[in-house]
Amino acid sequence: MKSKKLMLIALFSIVFVFIQFNYLSNFSSARMERINGFEAHDWLNANDNATYVFNNNISMGISTNAPLEIDIKYDQYIINRQINLSIDANDSLYLEISTKTNLVDFGFSHAPENPRQERNVVKYNYNCIYSIISNQSISNLSISFLKTSQNGLISQNRYQLALYEPAQNAWVLVNTTEKEIEPSSETYLESELSNLEAGETYYFTLYEISETPPPDWTGTIIIVGITILIGILAIVLIISKTDYIKYLKTRTVAISTGPHRLSLEDVLENENRSTIIDIILKEPGIHFNELLRKTELAAGNLVWHLEILDKYKIIGKKDVGRYVVYFPYYQKNPISNIDLKLQKSRLTLEILEMIEEDPGLWNSAISKRLEIDHKTVLYHLNKLMDLGLIIFKKDGRKKKYFPNFESDYFNGKS
């Protein structure tokens, strides 16, 4: 009797692993379509799957059990986003998927209420909303996101899918699980929507969930101190635009522009970006909503221009309380406070920058991204530890690395 129970448990485990592997392998073995632009039209057979790679580092994986005709349209202002959709339907169907940075750009008169969760802060930082409509009902739509900083998702943060509910004119959080897939150690966010009706438009996106800090005077004192600091910076940093442009053109700073192919002159000559620079020079520390009001740009358009200015290191940004504030970009020598050995090692700097951009990385994850041996990665991690530039925290069997923001290196950066 006991051996029979053990056999049943073993059989159940095998089936569970097979289902999980089969779901993810659908996308890993998918037909790859590289799209020069932001729109795709395609046909998939039953039990077919495909991955569409668009400009701006955008990708979408589609898996279907029924014959499918699909139209995909991405907003050109969206960058660095990835999603997998697995469709379960009873009949062949036509599916239209489009994206915007906010619901107002879909034609809504005003933004709906954000979702609420007791004792947690819920923030919309994803800047990508998916709209989906089908001519046939869909029994189940499985949705997954690869959780990496390259896709706009920070490894140590918690996220949850949200569905727009028209009756409440509000976003409603949907149960979302996080799974780490072995042996790749890749982490996915997974969620499901059931019984999607034909002809109905559904909107969904990701929200960041964080715990509400306990109220105390420390936070108030910090915010007051930062406000005073911003006021001082405003006096110190206000310079003429002519001098600032001259500074930008003569400085020596490494710039990684991502998918953008603009020259510095192209970036600076744009009328909207020129207006944004004027405002930030006059009001260092201005936050996004105030910029939105003063520029009178659409939110998605402003996000796009700020992203370009940030990529080209024309402006800098910092989190202050619940706001993101913007400053002129002043960069000291990024390695002026680092040991001479570190200055001579580009790989060590690359690993340091990777940890700074995506805190919580571990050895094998870095090794996989850089395609180098884990022993080499360990050597450079130990060098950074010896220099006091990173720290680690144990998470199960993993040793996760974080920037040491108390070091002179990070204190010397803008």
Q: What is the pLDDT of residue 16?
A: 41
Question: Largest alpha-carbon pair distance within the chain?
Answer: 85
* Residue 113 neighbours by CB distance under 10 Å: 11
Q: What is the pLDDT of residue 287?
A: 83
Q: Is there a common fold for 217-328 and 340-411?
A: yes
3-state secondary structure of 271: helix
Q: Phi, psi at residue 278, to the nearest 5°? A: -55, -45
For tokens 């522009």, the residue is 257
Between CA 399 and CA 392 the distance in angstroms is 6
**39 CB-near residues (< 8 Å, 6+ apart):** 71, 72, 73, 74
Q: What is the pLDDT of residue 137?
A: 94
Q: What is the pLDDT of residue 406?
A: 75
Give domain limits for the chain: 22-211, 217-328, 340-411
As a whole number of Å, the CA-based R_g of the chain is 24
Between CA 131 and CA 265 the distance in angstroms is 36
Stated length of the chain: 414
Strands 81-88, 58-64: pairing kind: parallel
Q: What is the pLDDT of residue 156?
A: 84
Asked: is 340-411 a CATH 1.10.10.10 domain? The reply is: yes
Give average pLDDT by consecutive 10-residue segment, the chain, 414 residues: 56 47 54 93 95 94 95 92 95 95 85 81 90 95 91 88 88 90 81 92 93 60 57 51 79 69 86 90 82 87 89 80 73 40 65 86 90 87 85 86 76 52
Between CA 13 and CA 20 the distance in angstroms is 11
Q: Which of 105, 128, 79 is nearest to 304 (CA)?
A: 79
Between CA 159 and CA 113 the distance in angstroms is 18
**356 CB-near residues (< 8 Å, 6+ apart):** 403, 410
Q: Which fold has domain 217-328?
A: Arc Repressor Mutant, subunit A (1.10.10)
Q: What is the pLDDT of residue 24?
A: 47
Segment holding 390, helix H or strand E: strand 390-395
Q: How far is CA 141 from CA 21, 127, 204, 245, 305, in A?
A: 18, 21, 12, 50, 34
